[in-house]
Each structure stands twice: as structure tokens, then as C-alpha cells.
Amino acid sequence: MPGLDPQVAMHKLNILPNAMHVKQQQQRFRPNIMNAIDKEVDKLIESGFVCEEQHLDWVANIVPVTKKNGKIRVCIDFWDLNSACPKDEFLLPITDVMIDNTCGFERMSFMDGYLDYNQIKMFLEDEKHTSFRSPKGVYYYTVMPFGLKNAGATYQRAMGTIFRKHLRKTVECYVDDIAVKSRLRGDHL
């Protein structure tokens, strides 16, 4: 998957210089959970979202979450890494203002980004810090994973760049939720 041009957006961690590197202790999983994790990690490898890690500074554990449909969602416990990163003070839009901005429009379409965060590359020097341990080995992200502190701000900043000419006129954007609006029904594509 090609993703966004790095000139539009890249995610930088800005780890505090005095932060202690943390390697979380390995966890054990039931065989059925391990199989589900293996499948998800295989998808991440095939898509080019992760690469195998050899030199470990930070290592996070996988947290398997069972979804309503019974499938396993693979999450990464970036708590330690996130604690070492200062908050990006980029202001997200005020939702009430965005809702007010849709008044008077006859037609609206709503979209949700697909693998949204994974469309943004990690800064090369920060990739190794996103390492996680799976039953297959240790991997790091080449793209911005869900769960990193400031990922929402990075994504919102990218959407602001992409839709700059259209924001508040024909597009409202809150992180990965996008509304396209038209004053007249016939103008809506």
C-alpha cells in the first residue's frame, strides 16, 4: 500500500532524551490466541507495515482484544513508549463547530479512513522504537500504528494539509472521519 507522500506527513516520536528504554516482559498466550496473532502479524508483514527487528531498545507486548464478532484484534501496549513522549499540542477541531458548519447543506457524504494511521510513514530513526514482541519474533513498524501518543494529531495535521482548500467549505474532517457537503443536491458527487 503506497500511503501518503512523506512530504505531506510523517510521524515523529520526539522521545525525551533522558527517557529510560523499556523492554516489556514476554507474555504467554493460549494456542488459539497465538494462531490469531500469527495471522495478524503475517498480514502486517505482507503489507510492508512491519519489519523484523534485530537491535532492541524498546519492546512492547501485544494485547489481544476479542471483538464482538469473536475475531481477535491485535493491539500493541505502547504505554511505556508513550510515557516517554511529550504531548503534541496540535489542536483538534471542535466538534460542535464542525456540526454547525454543516447547517444549510442539502447533501452530505460521510467517510471513514481505511487503515488510516497506516498511511503515514514513521520517521526512519523512530521506527525501531515501535518494536513489539509476537510469538513469531520481534518486529517494528515502518508506518504509524494505532496506539501511539500523538498519532491523532499527526493524522489531523495531514488531513488539514490534504484538504486545506476545502475545509469548512465543502469538507469537514475530524481525524479519520470525513464529511463532504454540498449546498445543492445536484452539486454533490
pLDDT at 1: 56
Distance CA 112, CA 114 (A): 7
Give pLDDT, residue 175. 86
Per-residue pLDDT, 77: 98
Query: pTM of the predicted model, to two decimals?
Result: 0.89
120-134: pLDDT as tens digits:
999 999 999 999 999
Q: What is the pLDDT along the chain (189 residues), one digit of tens a residue?
A: 568 899 999 999 999 999 999 999 999 999 999 999 999 999 999 999 999 988 788 999 999 999 999 888 899 999 999 999 999 999 888 989 988 988 999 999 999 877 788 999 999 999 999 999 998 899 999 999 999 999 999 999 999 999 999 988 999 998 888 999 999 988 887
Give pLDDT, residue 138: 96
Structure confidence at residue 78 (pLDDT): 98
What pLDDT does residue 188 have? 84
The CA distances from residue 91 to 6, 94, 170, in Å, are 21, 9, 21
Which whole-number Å values give the CA distances from 75 to 90, 117, 163, 189, in the listed order? 25, 13, 30, 36
Look at residue 116 in the predicted model and tell me its pLDDT: 85
Closest CA to 6 of 144, 113, 111: 144
Q: How far apart are CA 123 and CA 130, in angstroms?
A: 11
pLDDT at 149: 97
